[in-house]
Amino acid sequence: MASGFFALLDDIASLMDDVGAMSKIAGKKTAGILGDDLAVNAEKASGFIASREIPVLWAISKGSLLNKVIILPIAFLLSAFLPWAVIVILVLGGLYLAYEGAEKIYEFFVPHEHSVIAAQAPKMTKEEILTLEKEKIKSAIVTDFILSIEIVIIALGTVVNEPISTQIFVVSIIALLATVGVYGIVALIVRMDDFGVYLIRLNERDNSISDFFGKMLVGALPWVIKSLSVIGTIALILVAGGIFVHNLDFLHDWLHGIPSILGEFLTGLVVGFICLFAVMLFKGIWKKIAR
């Protein structure tokens, strides 16, 4: 009986070694998409009043964890029984990401109605601000869901030939790190100005080291947020383009002679504007029918 117990411990130790090694490989392969995830979600989680930043971020984080709980078992089942469905889901998610990226670019040049409303936020009632906040949270969770699918599928691809126990451990670890790591860094970014104010108030001396770094953090935050907005939009298009190029063979063949990052960006951009045009056309027709 004792020998059986120690044999069990040996099997567990061996499994943990395999999980650790495969997690490192999966982590390297998902590093790029995690960087895109950070940029996109930092941009999504910004733009709220200071007192609401952490509650909003917490709401998005809980939504992200729920996304992983939904995606993981479905991914394992599809990988085992319907592997072709994984590609279909990835491409559909890519269409949404490309559309959202193209919409942001279009919105920059032709502001939408909700952008005008957001710009007038100081004149809005508390109920209107909370409604707008809920819409942004919902949008962030939907985007996180699609990015989470990509992260899970990439991680799963690195351990597809491993035993199911190793697959479950490795992919679950990557999924958990994606949520905790990404939203932990986002929390630090959105609270950067508060930490700067704390440093400024740390002592009463003028031009102290704490004052210097505090003012630098406060002054840098608007630039960081603007930069993340741009980086997040580019990330959406790149992730979408990467989904198309890596899962649709004919696109991979067409773009064979172009640098991969440029090919992915152009693909995501073109598909995104096609989706945007289709959605705008559908909305226009629907309005005419409704009238």
At residue 174, the pLDDT reads 81
Residue 52 CB neighbours (<10 A): 13
At residue 27, the pLDDT reads 47
The pLDDT tens digits for 7-66 are: 433 433 444 444 444 444 444 444 445 555 666 666 666 666 666 777 888 888 888 889
At residue 278, the pLDDT reads 93
Residue from 261, 235, 244 nearest 37 by CA: 235
Q: How confident is the model at residue 117 (pLDDT cuts 50, 70, 90)?
A: very low
User: What is the rounded average pLDDT of the residues 253-261?
Assistant: 80
Q: Which domain, by its residues, includes 24?
A: 2-150+166-290
At residue 35, the pLDDT reads 56
Instruction: Indicate the number of domains in the chain.
Output: 1
Compare 281 and 207 and report the one with higher pLDDT.
Answer: 281
Asked if residue 59 is part of any domain, the answer here is yes
Instruction: Give me the DSSP letters along 124-185.
Output: S-HHHHHHHHHHHHHHHHHHHHHHHHHHHHHHHHHTTTS-HHHHHHHHHHHHHHHHHHHHHH
At residue 93, the pLDDT reads 79
Q: How far apart are CA 41 and CA 47, in angstroms?
A: 12
Asked if residue 160 is part of any domain, the answer here is no
Asked if residue 157 is part of any domain, the answer here is no
Q: How far apart are CA 235 and CA 268, in angstroms?
A: 10
DSSP label at residue 205: -
Asked if residue 114 is part of any domain, the answer here is yes
Q: Is a pLDDT exceeding 80 seen at residue 161?
A: no
Q: How far apart are CA 283 and CA 103, in angstroms?
A: 14
At residue 46, the pLDDT reads 61
Asked if residue 158 is part of any domain, the answer here is no
Q: Quote the pTM value.
A: 0.67
Q: Which residues contact 95 (CB under 8 A, 6 or more apart)?
A: 240, 271, 275
Q: Percent of the chain at pLDDT above 70? A: 74
Mean pLDDT value across the chain: 74
User: What is the rounded average pLDDT of the residues 115-122?
Assistant: 48
Compare 136 and 124 and report the one with higher pLDDT.
Answer: 136
Residue 216, token pair as written in the block: 């630098």
User: What is the rounded average pLDDT of the residues 249-265?
Assistant: 81
Q: Determine contact, residues 115/100, Cβ cutoff 8 Å.
A: no
At residue 160, the pLDDT reads 66
Q: Is a pLDDT exceeding 60 seen at residue 110?
A: yes
At residue 277, the pLDDT reads 94
Of 114-118, 167-171, 238-242, 249-253, the range with the lowest mean pLDDT is: 114-118
The pLDDT tens digits for 184-236 are: 777 777 777 777 877 777 777 777 787 877 888 878 877 877 777 777 788 77
Asked if residue 161 is part of any domain, the answer here is no
Asked if residue 203 is part of any domain, the answer here is yes
Degrees, nearest 5: CA angle 22-24-29: 95
The pLDDT tens digits for 55-99 are: 888 888 888 889 888 988 988 888 778 877 777 877 887 888 889
